[in-house]
Chains A and B, each alone.
Chain A
Amino acid sequence: MSDSIGWQHPFSQVEDVERLFDGADYVADRPLCLTTKLAFDLQKPVLLEGEAGVGKTEVAKVLAKVLDTPLIRLQCYEGLDASSTLYEWNYARQILQIRLAEADASRREGLEDSIFGEAFLFDRPLLQAIRHPGPRPAVLLIDEIDRADEEFEAFLLEILSDFQVTIPELGTFTAEQPPCVVLTSNRTRELNDALKRRCLYLWIDYPTPEKEREIILRRVPGIEAELARAVATVMGGLRAVDFYKRPGVAESLDWARALLGLDITEIVPEVVRETAGVVLKYHDDVLKLDKLDLDALIAGRTVEMQD
Chain B
Amino acid sequence: MASPSPVTSAESLVRHTLALCQTARAAGLAVTPAREIDIFRALKSIDWHDAGDYRLVLRTNLASGRADEILFDRVFDTYWGEPAEPESGDTILARSEMIRGSLDAGRSREGHRDMLTEAASFAGEEVTRSSNLLMRWDSDAPPLEKVIRELARRLATRPSRRTHPASHGRRIDLRRSVRRNIRHGLELVELSRVVSKVRKTRIVMLCDVSGSMDVFNPFLLQLMFGLQQTLRNSRTFVFSTRVSEISAMLRRRNIEETLEEISRTVRHWSGGTDIGAALGELNRTVLREGTSRSTVLIVISDGYDNGETQRIERELESARRRIRTLVWINPMYGATTFTVRAAGMRAAMPYIDHFLPAFNAKALHILVKGLIKIR
Contacts and interface: CB of A to CB of B under 8 A. Distances in A.
The answer to whether A and B come from one shared complex is yes
Given A34-B60, A35-B56, A201-B68, A41 B42 contact: yes
Contacts of A34: 46, 53, 56-57, 60
Nearest to A198: B34
Interface string A283-294: 000000000000
Interface stretch (A133-141, A183-191, A250-258): A183-191
Interface in A46-73: 47, 49, 51
A30 interface: yes
Contact of B60 (A98, A201, A244): A201
A91 B182 contact: yes
Contact of B284 (A37, A149, A242): A242
Interface in B226-241: 232-233
Nearest to A49: B66
Chain A contact patch, size range: 35 or more
A41 B53 CA distance: 15
A188 B294 contact: yes
A121 interface: no
Contact of B45 (A41, A44, A51, A197): A41
Interface in A157-184: none
A123 interface: no
Interface in A79-129: 79, 91, 94-95, 98
Interface in B1-53: 30, 32, 34-35, 38, 41-42, 45-46, 52-53
Given A31-B56, A197-B32, A242-B283, A37 B46 contact: yes
B42 A196 contact: no
Nearest to B283: A242
Interface of A: 14, 30-31, 34-35, 37-38, 41-42, 44, 47, 49, 51, 78-79, 91, 94-95, 98, 149-151, 186-190, 193, 196-197, 199-203, 242, 244
Interface of B: 30, 32, 34-35, 38, 41-42, 45-46, 52-53, 56-57, 60-61, 63-66, 68-69, 162, 164, 179, 182, 185-186, 197, 200, 202, 232-233, 280, 283-284, 288-291, 294, 318, 321-322
